[in-house]
Amino acid sequence: MSNLLEVKNLSVEINEQEILRDLDLKIETGTLHVVMGPNGAGKSTLSNVLLGHPNFKVNTGQILFAGQDVTNLSPEERAILGLFMSWQQPPEIDGVALDQFLFLAYKNIFSARDKAWIAPSVFEFSEILKKQAESLKIKPELLKRSLNVGFSGGEKKKIEMLQLSLFNPKLAILDETDSGLDIDALKIVAENINMYHQNKGTVLLITHYPQILEFIKPDFVHVMVKGKIVTTGGEELINNIKQTGFSSFIK
Amino acid sequence: MAKQSTIQQAWESKNSAPYLKSSRRGLDEALVREISQNKNEPEWMLERRLQALELYKTMPKPAWGPDLSKLDLASITYYAKASETENTWDEVPEDIKDTFTKLGIPQAEQKFLAGVGAQYESTTIYHNLKQQFKDQGVIFEDMDVAVQQYPDLVKKYFMKAVPANLHKFAALHGAVWSGGTFLYIPAGVKIDLPLQAYFRMNAKGMGQFEHTLMIIEDGAQGHYIEGCSAPRYGVDSLHAGCVEIYVKSSARFRYSSVESWSKDAYNLNTKRAIVEADAHMEWVGGNFGSHVTMLYPCSVLVGEQASADHLGLAFANSGQIQDTGAKVIHLASNTSSNIVMKSLSRGGGQSIYRGEIDIKARAQNVKVSVNCDALLLDANSKSMTIPQMKIANNTATVAHEARCGKISETEIFYLRSRGLSKEEAETMIVNGFVEPITRELPLEYAVEMNRMLKLEMEGSVG
């Protein structure tokens, strides 16, 4: 199988501080990876850099995605290629109606992916949206409200999951997707991730809190410390971490 | 490199106005007499003009607020007469229609809206009023016509809410005012559809001094909306309009305006409403364009339980100062006011909220809420909040909230990570920011306001 994502020798800084150092990571199409690590290891930086956050400066290295060097591409270009991140704390934006934002994003992404694509009407799109929301048990009235404004932690995460289904990305990066969720919401989110994975979706789950791993079975587990992947293994690493924490990986 | 949009072209373009050849610059008694004579005004109006002129001569420019020292009052053309008054849309000159079309202004007549008055230079060229309003006794007229046809009403109310001695530009207005809109809604008559007018000024160095006078009798209801647009030109241009609104007992009125004067104009507008017992006044305003804007719609709450809402939006772009706000004078008990102002600044533009709440000693149990939000679209733009509260008793409840912030990089990044371009993301955030104002406007105006925002945002990639 080919690599969907290949991060080579990546060093990244922000405000003249190096956060990632010579980081390497390979993710094959269709696999499910977990990156774990203590606070401050650079996990969030990794996801932001993969997504193309303009504030981070890539000093050395390369990010290859779907056979293309994306190191210098804009966030929107990466989204169109099929990179997606479920945010740990998605922003609340006043006055931006969720359904209107999703409609514009949906049209942008699919029309750029396929020139022959014909955009749905507002009505057709609202039907698509309603169906997706229903399967995630999202209250339909949320779709008309301002993006994330006054939403509960669980509702915000579900809206992220909704976008995962809607935009059908090649790689889903899930940044601390399990934080701030009650057990019912966690199950729905995990179910959704599993479904995406079963449909040949590739997953990179970033977490320091392994509760969600009771519901999701990873193919690979990476341990990240001080801006580097220090160990890669299978599921058994999770038990190690549960028992002894990250201390054994910090040398 | 800025893209030329059709709106921008319209803004940049100007139509020739050959009839201005005979107009002259500067102001003296002879000109005031000429204006009055041209309009065939009654003697009392000429007298008022001359009194205002005397006040104008003695009053200084305001010493507070934005710098007006570059405004050369001697080089302004104070009066120009356009072509004859037009009655139907067909008779409106093609070049004016072209500009309207470029700005995407809806041809209101074709739509459900009630009536249109468009002011071209200083003379109204187009006026249409639906028969049903006539039957109800509603008067919706050109101000010059109202002086002739409804002298008693005009005499009673003209420049009583905004007296000529209020400030220098009110005095100037009183001397040279020309055109504008007169609206009278009789007691108990309720008009659901907004009445509207479109103003523009189009000649180099020319000022515009339209007078809007509205009388909403007991228990009556209405909504008036006007938009102003102006092509840009090189010489400083002056707009000193005046709006006076009388909202009688238990009446409700809303005055909405979207203004986008040319980027070298001084927009020094005075707007005031006198609100009686149990009556409600709403101001909804969007301010774009102008070099300097000074505009603080004022509500004077004279009767018990009178209330006022002030909703405003100002966009200060490169080279612009938007000094806007609100003023509410509480003269009676149980009156309330609610002020929501939003401002946007980019390209070095300056937005200033200047507000005054004045609660007199005899006005008990007054409630006031002030909410100002400023959004800075880049690092070199500025915003300021200058609230003033005079509270002469201890029964008032006053809440003031002000926020100022830069457009959030996180929000932009989030939207971009979902496939929106940087410009789309910024426009969406800005439209969301102003949504509390735009949702109060009729659809066409909301659409037009969003178009203006988009135009202002063009080329904002930093």
Summarize pLDDT for B393-413 with one digit per residue, the tens.
999 999 999 999 999 999 999
Cβ contacts of B408 on chain A, cutoff 8 Å: 91
For residue B153, being part of any structural domain is answered with yes
Residue B9 has pLDDT above 60, yes or no: no
Q: How confident is the model at residue B445 (pLDDT cuts 50, 70, 90)?
A: confident
- Domain match, B94 and B227 both: yes
Percent of chain B past pLDDT 70, that is, above it, reads 78
- Identify the domain boundary among B295, B316, B334: B295
For residue B446, being part of any structural domain is answered with yes
Q: What is the ipTM of this complex?
A: 0.96
B433 shares contact with chain A (CB less than 8 Å): yes
Q: Which residue of B has its CA nearest to A87?
A: B414
Give the best residue of B371, B375, B408, B416 to mutate against chain A (max A CB count within 10 A).
B416
Q: How confident is the model at residue B117 (pLDDT cuts 50, 70, 90)?
A: very low
Give me the pLDDT at residue B83, please. 42
Q: Any residues with CB less than 8 A from the CB of B300 and at least 6 apart, and which?
A: B161, B272, B273, B274, B275, B328, B329, B331
Q: Which residue of B has its CA nearest to A148?
A: B411
B419–A167 CB contact, under 8 Å? yes
Give me the pLDDT at residue B247, please. 98
Cβ contacts of A91 on chain B, cutoff 8 Å: 408, 410-411, 414
Of B419, B432, B435, the CB nearest to A108: B419
Condensed to tens digits (0 to 9), the pLDDT of residues B408-439 reads 999 999 999 999 999 999 999 999 999 999 88
Give me the pLDDT at residue B5, please. 40
A85–B418 CB contact, under 8 Å? no
**Upper half-sphere CA count for residue B164 (Cβ side, 13 Å):** 22
Residues 356-415 on B with a CB inside 8 Å of A are 408-411, 413-415
Give me the pLDDT at residue B2, please. 37
For residue B188, being part of any structural domain is answered with yes
B431–A96 CB contact, under 8 Å? yes
* Cα B317 from Cα B327, distance rounded (Å): 24
Q: What is the pTM of this model?
A: 0.82
* Cα B290 from Cα B405, distance rounded (Å): 24
A76–B416 CB contact, under 8 Å? yes
Average pLDDT over residues B133-151: 89
Identify each DSSP E strand in B302-349 by its residue range.
307-316, 321-330, 336-345
For residue B311, being part of any structural domain is answered with no
Give me the pLDDT at residue B4, please. 37
Give me the pLDDT at residue B94, please. 59
Q: Is A190 left (phi over 0), alpha (psi -120 to 50) or beta?
A: alpha
Beta-bridged to residue B390, according to DSSP, are B358
- Are B398 and B389 within 8 A, CB to CB? yes
- Domain match, B276 and B420 both: no
- Residue in the structure block whose two tokens are 């100022």: B404
Residues of A with CB under 8 A from a CB of B: 51-55, 74-76, 78-80, 84-85, 87, 90-91, 93-96, 101, 104-105, 108-109, 112, 146, 163, 167
Buried-state track B186-208, b at ≥16 Cβ within 10 A, e below 16: eeebebeebbbbbbbbbbebbbb
Tally of domains within chain B? 2
Give me the pLDDT at residue B80, please. 66
Q: How confident is the model at residue B228 (pLDDT cuts 50, 70, 90)?
A: low
Residue B223 has pLDDT above 80, yes or no: yes
Q: Any residues with CB less than 8 A from the CB of B293 and at least 6 apart, and which?
A: B259, B261, B267, B268, B269, B287, B314, B320, B321, B322, B323, B324
For residue B401, being part of any structural domain is answered with no
Identify each DSSP E strand in A83-212 by its residue range.
83-86, 93-97, 146-147, 171-175, 202-207
- Residue in the structure block whose two tokens are 């609206």: B183
- Identify the domain boundary among B271, B295, B319: B295
Burial class from Cβ neighbours inside 10 Å (0-12, 13-18, 19+) for residue B132 reads: exposed
Name the residue range of residue B439's domain: 408-462
For residue B107, being part of any structural domain is answered with yes
Residue A194 to chain B, least CA–CA distance (Å): 22
Beta-bridged to residue A146, according to DSSP, are A97
Q: How confident is the model at residue B220 (pLDDT cuts 50, 70, 90)?
A: very high
B432–A90 CB contact, under 8 Å? no
- Range with lowest mean pLDDT among A66-70, A177-181, B53-57, B443-447: A177-181
Residue B40 has pLDDT above 80, yes or no: yes
Residue B438 to chain A, least CA–CA distance (Å): 10
Give me the pLDDT at residue B93, please. 54
- Are B166 and B270 within 8 A, CB to CB? yes
B418–A101 CB contact, under 8 Å? yes
Q: Which residue of A has its CA nearest to B428?
A: A96
For residue B318, being part of any structural domain is answered with no
Give me the pLDDT at residue B290, please. 84
B429 shares contact with chain A (CB less than 8 Å): yes
B433–A163 CB contact, under 8 Å? no
Give me the pLDDT at residue B90, please. 59
Q: How many residues does chain B have?
A: 462
Establish, for the pair of chains A and B, how many residue pairs have beta carbons separated by less than 8 Å: 73
B436–A74 CB contact, under 8 Å? no
Q: How confident is the model at residue B230 (pLDDT cuts 50, 70, 90)?
A: very low
* Cα A88 from Cα A90, distance rounded (Å): 6
CATH class of the domain defined by A3-95+156-249:
alpha beta
Q: Which residue has the higher pLDDT, A251 or B261?
A: B261
Query: Which 8-state DSSP code applies to residue B84?
Result: P
Give the best residue of B418, B433, B435, B438 to mutate against chain A (max A CB count within 10 A).
B418
Q: How confident is the model at residue B73 (pLDDT cuts 50, 70, 90)?
A: confident
Among B376, B208, B411, residue whose Cα is nearest residue B290: B208
- Are B257 and B227 within 8 A, CB to CB? yes
Condensed to tens digits (0 to 9), the pLDDT of residues B289-319 reads 889 999 999 999 999 999 999 999 999 999 9
* Cα A169 from Cα A175, distance rounded (Å): 15
- Are A109 and B419 within 8 A, CB to CB? yes
Q: Is the dihedral of CA B235, B229, B143, B83 positive or negative?
A: positive
* Cα A2 from Cα B70, distance rounded (Å): 69
For residue B159, being part of any structural domain is answered with yes
Condensed to tens digits (0 to 9), the pLDDT of residues B327-386 reads 999 999 999 999 999 999 999 999 999 999 999 999 999 999 999 999 999 999 999 999
Q: How confident is the model at residue B122 (pLDDT cuts 50, 70, 90)?
A: very low
Cβ contacts of B311 on chain A, cutoff 8 Å: none
Q: Which residue of A has its CA nearest to B434?
A: A95
Average pLDDT over residues B108-120: 35
Of B408, B409, B415, the CB nearest to A55: B409
**Spans in chain A with pLDDT lower than 50:** none
Condensed to tens digits (0 to 9), the pLDDT of residues B76-105 reads 878 765 443 334 555 555 555 555 555 555
Residue B127 has pLDDT above 50, yes or no: no
The helix/strand/coil state of B437 is helix
Give me the pLDDT at residue B87, please. 41
